[in-house]
Structure 1
Amino acid sequence: MPVDGLGRVVMVIPTFNEVENIEWIVGRLRRAQPGVDVLVMDDNSPDGTGDLADAMASADPHIHVIHRTEKAGLGAAYLHGFAWALEQGYDVIGEMDADGSHQPEELYRLLNGLHAADLVIGSRYIPGGSVLNWPIKRLIMSRGGNFYVRLLLGTEIRDITAGYRLFRRSTLEAIDLKSVESAGYIFQTDLAARTVRAGLTVAEVPIQFVERVRGNSKLDGSVAKESIKMVTRWGIAERKSRISERKAARDA
């Protein structure tokens, strides 16, 4: 069903051991945006998440499920989901977490923002955005990480690590998804940076990010290490490229 002149929209929701949350969050999404489809990407959850998602899909034709055979990382799950959505002809493809941190009731803000953008990010760190129930240490780490990314990559995006977002179909087709190698949470930074480099428009809209209240977080120290290492490498490459371009311009 077309949504607000944007065409067919699907939200991709990766899951691993989210049996406590998946029915709750998908139900909220279907009530908040009845015209939006849902794709659950389950990484072979041993807790029965995939079976519950199948039962939901059998009762609602707007819900779809793909069962992956292994837990290969957030980026890998999204890339698989994006490929399916593109094959199915969706015009808008979105991302959101299964744990309730991204509130479906705020999806309308992202949908409205996409009328004037190629990628819309639900941002915690622009005026009107907020984070609920995070310890101060985690908030400082998140804000610091976003500042580090902006500094190295030269982007103006305030919340480039955020995972609540909508892509136009044309955006995903323009940024060469086949060459994406980032598998973990750095995937979010990677795709946003690719969108900017492609000369496309990125907009941020404010959201309230809510810390999960059920189930266990999948974040650990290795996520931060991977992110710092990859962003530093990209930043160095970006600066070298700019220096080479300026040198070439002077020599021309």
Structure 2
Amino acid sequence: MDYIEDYAMNLYRETAISWTLHAIKIMMGYEDVRNEIIKEFCPCVQNIEFSRTFDGDPYSDGISKVSKYKEIEQYLISCINKKPYVIFTACNVKDADTDETHYQSFYMDNINHEIYVIDPAKPAKGYGIYYPEVALQVVKPFAESNGYTFRFMPVSCPAQITDEDVFCQSWTLYMLMNILQNGIETPVSIPKKQNDKYNALLSFYKEIVSRIPTTVDDIRIIYREELLLEENMKVVLSDGTMEDWNALFEIDPYALLLQMTADDMA
């Protein structure tokens, strides 16, 4: 049986890796998972019970883009008196034409009245390959009208430098945890080379699943739920057969993750 499973994993490895990374990307956008990871890696974090993650799908809860951003504004107002700080994550509402979103995380210092933005795509000057819309159009106006200094977190170099790197959910959490562990004034160290960036993320993923067993179940469930979606079945069947789909469905994404290298993420 193990031989059959290994054979299937090798035969469909590249495709299975793509779906595994897709499942991880989805999981890393879940509010409860992000908060659980933060509590595990940063046990001294303050006010984690108030930490929110706002997704970028305007249709997921039946409200418009304007209403979605208004919800974030109301949340910010509710956080003003929560000292010493509150952390949260928000995503640009999905672009109707490109389906593009972009996650940004925030550190709201309610003692010094400062809001720090964690934008994984931002270079030292200007903006990167993704525009931090929610930071500039929602959080910045709130900060300015409520006496908060608004600033972007310093990083050694941007995490996302190519549009093939679609892991903003992961990068925001990676960078946010670095800040919680090392202090808000410490620049976040990000590798320069793309392969090294992917290696940092992959090591991050492997440490998460080793320390938080429930994330293993999450990845397995999401992997199979995504393959069961009609539109995704059509994608698989467009280049293969039902036998191929069944083989992909039976692959264990957790076992595959443990075998992956940075080259597999490219």
TM-score surpassing 0.5?
A: no
Larger relative strand fraction: 1
TM-score normalised by L of structure 2: 0.24
Between structure 1 and structure 2, the one with the greater Rg is: 2
Larger relative helix fraction: 2
